[in-house]
Amino acid sequence: MVFPILISHMNANLFQRRQQALVDAHDKHIRKTNEEEALSNGIYSRWQNPVITRESVPLDWAMTQNNLGNALSILGKRERGTERLDEAVTAFRAALEEYTRESFPLNWAGTTVNLAWVKKAFAQHPTTTDPHHHLQKALAHVEAALEVYNSEVTPFDHARATFLRDDLRARLIDDV
């Protein structure tokens, strides 16, 4: 039978062409001259031709956004203004564009809990005029994450999220 051999050979050629196209695109991308842009914020630098982009490596990009959100959140808790906390929210929301609940439920839940922590930080920030609003948002985020986490499959994450949920509920009761 020649037919299966022909199909196998065609699939191998198609695979090789696609593989070569990816290699060529990668080589072209990493060979671009790259200069730092003036839009630095002290945490990260922006580049004219970033290597990790949403288009080229979406999950790595989402992980980077999540990590950036964590760094900005830590800084935001230490600063007088809320600019870094706002940037953290933006970074977490960007990560959630790739980490969807349907496709990557555990990544989605982790990033959603991170978003809850930054909303709690907003509520505790001295410049916040409506902490109740931020606490409610944080509680909604952590409760959504707890729909994914459970004590049998993800015991540590479930316990951490449960602790945060209980803390937020207590703060909301005290806030009333």
Quick: pLDDT tens for 83-119. 999 999 999 999 999 999 999 999 999 999 999 999 9
- Segments making up each domain of the chain, as ranges: 9-51, 54-175
Quick: pLDDT tens for 130-167. 999 999 999 999 999 999 999 999 999 999 999 999 99
pLDDT score of 44 more than 80: no
Check if the beta carbon of residue 73 is closer than 8 Å to that of residue 102.
no
Give the alpha-carbon dihedral of 57, 55, 142, 102, to 10 degrees: -90
How many other C-beta atoms can be found within 10 angstroms of the C-beta atom of residue 176? 5
Reduce the DSSP state of residue 158 to 3 states and report it. helix
pTM above 0.85, yes or no: no
Percent of the chain scoring above 90 in pLDDT = 64
Residue 105 pLDDT: 96
Give the alpha-carbon dihedral of 60, 86, 173, 159, to 10 degrees: 20
So what CATH class is 54-175?
Answer: mainly alpha
pLDDT score of 5 more than 60: no
147 backbone dihedrals φ, ψ, rounded to 5°: -70, -20
